[in-house]
Amino acid sequence: MAASGGIYNSVINARKIGAKSFAVFLKSPRRWVSKDYTQEEIDKFGILCEKHGYNPRTDILPHGQYFINLANPESEKEEKSYKSFVDDLKRCEQLGIGLYNFHPGSSLDSDHGEALKRLGKNINRGIKETKFVKIVIENMAGHGNLIGSKLEDIGKVIEMVEDKERIGVCIDTCHTYSAGYDIEDESKFGEFLKKFEEVIGMNYLSSVHLNDSKAPFNSNRDLHQKLGHGYLGLEIFRVICNLEKFEGIPIILETPIEKGEDDLRYGEEIELLNWLIGKKKEDEEYVKKKEELSLKGKKEREEQMKKYLVRQEKEEKKRKKEEGGNTKKRGIRENGEDILSQLSKKKKTTTTRKEKEEKKED
């Protein structure tokens, strides 16, 4: 929720759209350093939470700055990220907030395993510098060298965390789908949760980000879409709305705000989610709504598919070119010897023949 004018305004804005839980940036997402909260801001935040029925320990899920990378291989940049990270954690505790969600970062050009160790190390540092806030790792879509697109990444980091009570996981539906985990319907989502339980453990599930996906399955593209408009479709959101194991944790909308819209638009999707509770997939009115929303997003899905296919074609050409180069390199080898040794042998052989001819003339 927007918090311009003071962090406490996020509570008022959440109440306006009928949200039972909400996310907020604790400081500007575009600056490394922001001014501290005043005691007046902190007090007002607490008063408004109590007035509107929000429990800061369980109902509010702040989002960390996107440029925080605790796995950065450059020590100075790693430390800069850590300072912003721990500042966020301390702000949470000033406000009495019990959960903090962040992106796990990227290994960049470094060894992936070592990057996971840096991430685990810095999470442990943050926990030791604070008292109660739970650090929630969000799964990612898988673009580039991002950490967290594979559940195994998150599982390994959690193994490194010393205080297991202070670590959790946020499932982002768009990221999950784009990373190659098919969750389009109840059966497929059930398989994903089974995998989650095996690799991480359902006891670590602390929150959910609800987003449809503009990009196709397994595209590794982090492109959020309005519910029911994207490639995921409405069914997964009906499933989640009726899943008992998701009760009691913050479920946050991160769908895009179009030009001319504001956070009040989220109120419409909250109404949609409430409407989905109790609905069966064969209910006539549900089927109609599903088709209606899918039709609204058809044009954007087609546009994204075209872009995806062009990108796939480019990547395939690049792969073939690289393979061709490797084949060419392999072709210059014969019987385990490279071209330099072959040329050397030819040179040596030629010299020997010349010597023989000279000997014959003598």
Mean of pLDDT over the chain: 90
More confident residue, 109 or 193: 193
CA-atom Rg of the chain in angstroms: 27
Q: Which candidate in 222, 231, 235, 238 is catalytic?
A: 222
163 has a pLDDT exceeding 70: yes
Q: Is 30 part of the annotated catalytic residue set? A: yes
The Cα–Cα gap between 39 and 8 comes to: 12
Query: In what helix (H) or strand (E) does residue 138 lie, and over which residues does it extend?
Result: strand 134-138
**How many CB atoms are closer than 10 A to CB 307?**
16
Question: Which token pair is 42?
Answer: 């902190």
User: What separation in angstroms does the CA of 154 have from each of 116, 210, 351?
Assistant: 9, 19, 64
Q: Is 254 part of the annotated catalytic residue set? A: yes
Class of the CATH-defined domain 9-296? alpha beta
Q: Which candidate in 41, 185, 186, 254 is catalytic?
A: 254
Q: Which residue type does 96 have? A: G
**How many CB atoms are closer than 10 A to CB 93?**
14
157 has a pLDDT exceeding 70: yes
Q: Which candidate in 59, 78, 87, 138 is catalytic?
A: 138
The Cα–Cα gap between 141 and 273 comes to: 24
- Number of residues in the chain: 362
Each residue's pLDDT tens digit, 302-358: 999 999 999 999 988 888 888 876 655 444 343 444 433 433 443 444 444 444 444
Quick one: which of 147, 66, 77 has its CA closest to 106?
A: 147
The Cα–Cα gap between 84 and 195 comes to: 33
Helices (H), ranges, the chain: 9-16, 39-52, 75-95, 112-128, 151-160, 173-178, 186-199, 235-241, 266-276, 284-296, 298-331, 339-361
Quick one: which of 319, 299, 307 has its CA closest to 221?
A: 307
What is residue 53's predicted lDDT score, i.e. its pLDDT? 97
What is residue 264's predicted lDDT score, i.e. its pLDDT? 85
Q: Which candidate in 37, 82, 103, 231 is catalytic?
A: 103
Surface-to-core class of residue 32, CB atoms within 10 Å of its CB (0-12 exposed, 13-18 middle, 19+ buried): middle
211 φ/ψ angles, rounded to the nearest 5 degrees? -150, 135
**How many CB atoms are closer than 10 A to CB 247?**
7
| Model pTM score | 0.87
Q: Which residue has the tokens 């959440």?
A: 14
Q: Is 138 part of the annotated catalytic residue set? A: yes
The Cα–Cα gap between 76 and 228 comes to: 43
Q: Which residue type does 165 have? A: E
Each residue's pLDDT tens digit, 70-97: 999 999 999 999 999 999 999 999 999 9
Instruction: Give the strands of the sheet with 167-172, arranged side by side.
Output: 99-102, 134-138, 167-172, 205-210, 251-253
Each residue's pLDDT tens digit, 270-311: 999 999 999 999 999 999 999 999 999 999 999 999 999 999
What is residue 259's predicted lDDT score, i.e. its pLDDT? 85
Spacing of C-alpha 46 from chain mean position: 30
221, 311 contact by CB (below 8 A): no
Q: Is 286 part of the annotated catalytic residue set? A: no
Q: Is 229 part of the annotated catalytic residue set? A: no
Across residues 126-138, what is the average pLDDT?
A: 98
Domain ranges in the chain are: 9-296
Q: Is 175 part of the annotated catalytic residue set? A: yes
Q: Is 36 part of the annotated catalytic residue set? A: no
Measured at the alpha carbon of residue 277, what is the angle toward residues 261 and 178, in degrees to the nearest 5?
60
What is residue 356's predicted lDDT score, i.e. its pLDDT? 45
164 has a pLDDT exceeding 50: yes
Q: Which candidate in 209, 221, 238, 301 is catalytic?
A: 209
Q: Is 103 part of the annotated catalytic residue set? A: yes
Q: Which candidate in 36, 43, 66, 322 is catalytic?
A: 66
The Cα–Cα gap between 352 and 358 comes to: 10
162, 125 contact by CB (below 8 A): no
Instruction: Lowest mean pLDDT of 37-51, 178-192, 210-224, 258-272, name the range.
Output: 258-272
Question: Which token pair is 154?
Answer: 């998150």
Across residues 205-228, what is the average pLDDT?
A: 97
Q: Which candidate in 59, 153, 172, 212 is catalytic?
A: 172
Q: Which candidate in 224, 229, 238, 301 is catalytic?
A: 224
The DSSP bridge partners found for residue 208 are 171, 251
